[in-house]
Chains A and B, each alone.
Chain A
Amino acid sequence: EPEVTQTPSHQVTQMGQEVILRCVPISNHLYFYWYRQILGQKVEFLVSFYNNEISEKSEIFDDQFSVERPDGSNFTLKIRSTKLEDSAMYFCASSLQGAHSGNTIYFGEGSWLTVV
């Protein structure tokens, strides 16, 4: 069964450093997302991406964050200058037509980011 894959599974970084989290969404999907979860708590929406542009972003997704789909398969989340409070599990997700069309959103296994 097709799945969303994420790398790295775990990254430790110094505060102030740039981090890039990578994702390969399911191949025929058109909607892409990043969510984050702090220590097994609520899953928070960060950003949605469709047709090569951001379609919605949350208040968490400030100027330190950016997303890119550099080729036909990868979808990346960049944090420009990490802060301690960025420590979280980051989930990439994709959907064929988006949950607003009743389509399921499929999640990757997550990238656990620890900022020290």
Chain B
Amino acid sequence: AQSVAQPEDQVNVAEGNPLTVKCTYSVSGNPYLFWYVQYPNRGLQFLLKYITGDNLVKGSYGFEAEFNKSQTSFHLKKPSALVSDSALYFCAVSPGSSNTGKLIFGQGTTLQVKP
């Protein structure tokens, strides 16, 4: 079965410290991987994606993510967290075998950045 796992329900980090939000996936074919952020009572905002090429992709608001094919992971990172980064983060995958273009989402990780 195709799935995405975010093993941490919540990540707590102090402002200014680096942050990592973990994501692993299990899909057939070559996946396309995405990160979205959701602020309270808002929609999903696209942060970044991995399609092909360089395993380190950079996105909005200083976020980056590293694709690791052998570990089937796509962890989200930021060198220096801001309080305003506090939100719900979703990892998502488009299975390579899909032709409908849908995304499969992980369960989400709440990021709490403390001042």
Query: In the bound complex, do residue B49 and residue A102 qualify as a contact, i.e. CB atoms below 8 Å apart?
Result: yes
Q: Which of B43, B104, B107 contacts A110 (CB under 8 A)?
A: B43
Q: Which of B14-22, B65-73, B78-86, B93-101 contacts A (4 or more CB under 8 A)?
A: B93-101
Q: Are B49 and A56 in contact (CB under 8 A)?
A: no
Please, what's the 1-or-0 string for A93-116, where 1 marks a CB less than 8 Å from any CB in chain B?
Answer: 101011111111111111000000
Is there contact, CB below 8 Å, between A33 and B102?
Answer: yes
B100 near A42 (CB under 8 angstroms)?
Answer: no
Q: Is the beta-carbon distance between B102 and A41 smaller than 8 angstroms?
A: no
**Could you tell me if B107 and A99 are in contact, using CB atoms closer than 8 angstroms?**
no
> Please, how many angstroms separate the alpha-carbon atoms of A97 and B94 in the complex?
12
Q: Which of B32, B52, B108 makes the CB contact (< 8 A) with A42? A: B108
Q: List residues 32-86 of chain B with CB under 8 A from any CB of chain A.
A: 32, 34, 36, 42-46, 49, 51-52
A28 at the interface (CB under 8 A from B): no
Can you give 5 contacting A-B residue pairs, CB < 8 Å?
Answer: A43-B90, A91-B44, A98-B99, A100-B94, A105-B46
A99-B94, A99-B103, A105-B103 given; name 18 further pairs at CB < 8 Å.
Answer: A33-B101, A35-B105, A40-B88, A44-B105, A55-B99, A93-B44, A99-B32, A100-B94, A100-B96, A100-B98, A100-B101, A102-B49, A103-B101, A104-B34, A104-B46, A104-B49, A105-B101, A107-B43
